[in-house]
């Protein structure tokens, strides 16, 4: 039986995060000691490892909820899990494309900066005038 602190260490999670996962129903309510402290077994360790790994791969908590559900039903078709992963891959690829465009623009800004006064600063100038941009970067975030 593991305390919440030990489980946290084993999975590279903060204690508060584990409690948060329990609160939103991603982790089950574990057993408790007489004094009310949580105690975890191997099933919970596996489940939390799964969650953290999926988070590292950028899956949202909602997507992870679906994946956990699929994982809990070994007879179900694999197609859904595959679809979720493909969706995630697509998102990653879109973000990659956007970030690459941003990198291009930022490099251009930085390389054109001559180091004088802000009145001649290319960085500020480019920010002031979107029409100077070579790439489209309409959506915010990335």
Partner DNA sequence: TTACATCCTCTAGCTACTGTAGGTTCAAGC
Partner DNA sequence: GCTTGAACCTACAGTAGCTAGAGGATGTAA
- Helix, strand, or coil (residue 88): helix
Structure tokens at 79: 């197609």
Cβ contact 39:32 at 8 Å: yes
Q: Which residues bind DNA (CB under 7 A)?
A: 3-6, 8, 14-17, 19-20, 33-38, 55, 60-62, 140
Measured N-to-C along each axis, helices 4-11 and 42-56 cross at an angle, to the nearest 10 degrees, of 40
In angstroms, what is the minimal distance from the CB of 108 to a second copy?
A: 10
Q: Examine residue 24 and tell whether it contacts a second copy (CB under 8 A).
A: no
Look at the block and give the residue holding tokens 């969706």: 87
Q: Decide whether 32 or 103 has the Cβ nearer to a second copy.
A: 103
User: Is residue 96 close enough to count as binding a second copy by CB under 8 A?
Assistant: yes
Nearer to DNA, 37 or 135 (CB): 37
Q: Should residue 79 be labelled a site residue for a second copy when binding is judged by CB under 8 A?
A: yes
43 binds a second copy (CB under 8 A): no
Q: Encoding tokens for residue 84?
A: 């979720």
Going by C-beta distance under 8 Å and a sequence separation of 6 or more, which residues neighbour residue 48?
A: 7, 11, 13, 18, 21, 27
Rule CB under 8 A: is residue 67 a binding residue for a second copy?
yes
Least separation in angstroms between residue 120's CB and a second copy is 7
Which residue among 24, 52, 65, 134 contacts a second copy (CB under 8 A)? 52
């Amino acid at each position: 039986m593991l305390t919440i602190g030990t489980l946290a260490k084993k999975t590279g999670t903060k204690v508060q995060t584990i409690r948060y996962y329990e609160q939103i129903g991603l982790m089950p309510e574990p057993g408790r000691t007489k004094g009310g402290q949580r105690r975890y077994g191997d099933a919970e360790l596996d489940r939390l490892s799964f969650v953290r790994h999926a988070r590292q791969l950028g899956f949202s908590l909602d997507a992870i909820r679906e994946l956990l559900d699929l994982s809990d039903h070994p007879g179900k078709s694999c197609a859904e899990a595959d679809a979720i992963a493909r969706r995630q891959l697509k998102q990653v690829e879109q973000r990659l494309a956007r970030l690459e465009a941003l990198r291009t623009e930022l490099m251009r800004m930085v390389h054109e900066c001559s180091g004088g006064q802000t009145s001649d600063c290319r960085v500020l100038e480019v920010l002031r005038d979107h029409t100077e941009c070579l790439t489209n970067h309409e959506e915010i975030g990335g």
